[in-house]
Amino acid sequence: MLVFHYPMQISNLLDAISSGATMIAFAQTAAYEKLNHSHMNPPKSNKPFSMIREFHLADWFTLANALCGMGALFSVMTFLETDNVKHIYIAGGLVLAALFFDVVDGRVARWRQKTSSMGRELDSLADVISFGVAPAIMAYGCGMQGFYDRIVLAYFVACGVSRLARYNVTAEALSEGGDKVKYFEGTPIPTSVMLVCVLTLAAYFDAVQSNLWFGVIEIAGLQLHPLVLLFALSGSLMISRIRIPKL
């Protein structure tokens, strides 16, 4: 039997080749697994405005709602600066336009059968601006600027925010397994449009600022305009447990 004795250099070379082959095989396996992982979990798009590209058609109507609410805020601030009552009319008209877009976005979402958690949150944020903050600022601009008035208006906005938060977390239960909510708990925040109509009507009759309907009363040296109690009533109805069928 012949036994070959390899020189040390050849033995080391063979060991190196064997180790290299093992490393190449390992690298190929890792590359293959990485390729499969990339196919199963494609990377998120890094394109500019990628979030906006993901908006559904209904979301654009929701954004229009929010923009109308912001426009109403700007109009009230302009009224406070110029004392031109036409800006109260504009603010009231923009809140009504916000209501239109709020109704349309829901109908479009059902028509297209495309809804998302982001769309629901976007709708709530827009409603807070247009039907919570905007009516409260309109009331302030029209003359409800006393200490107690501010507390009531802040309470009204807080009720609106709480009402929307409650709806978001209970919508699935209220729908009873269906696609549509059967009823509302508490009055929806867009009902504040009625308060906006009252304020716009008051502006038309020049019943703003010092001429505000029902005047002003003082309690412990601080002012309260009785008309602001409509906002307290509206806010309380929002957070109530009254069931209102959804049309």
Q: Are 169 and 102 in contact (CB under 8 A)?
A: no
Give 5-19 as a DSSP string. ---HHHHHHHHHHHH
Q: Are 69 and 95 in contact (CB under 8 A)?
A: yes
Predicted confidence (pLDDT) per residue in 46-96, tens digit: 565 555 545 566 777 889 999 999 999 999 999 999 999 999 999 999 999
E strands of the chain, at which residues?
183-185, 217-219, 222-224, 243-245
HSE-up (13 A, CA, CB side) for residue 125: 11
Q: Are 73 and 137 in contact (CB under 8 A)?
A: yes
The model's pTM is 0.74
Quote the DSSP letter at residue 48: T
Tell me which of 54 and 246 has the higher pLDDT: 246
pLDDT score at 108: 72
Task: Please identify which residue in the block is written with the tokens 């709530």.
Answer: 124
Predicted confidence (pLDDT) per residue in 180-227, tens digit: 666 778 899 999 999 999 999 999 999 999 999 999 999 999 999 999
CA 232, CA 210: separation in Å to the nearest integer? 21
Residue closest to 240 by CA, chosen among 159, 179, 161 = 159
Q: Are 130 and 65 in contact (CB under 8 A)?
A: yes
Predicted confidence (pLDDT) per residue in 130-165, tens digit: 999 999 999 999 999 999 999 999 999 999 999 998
CA of residue 92 relative to chain centroid, distance: 21
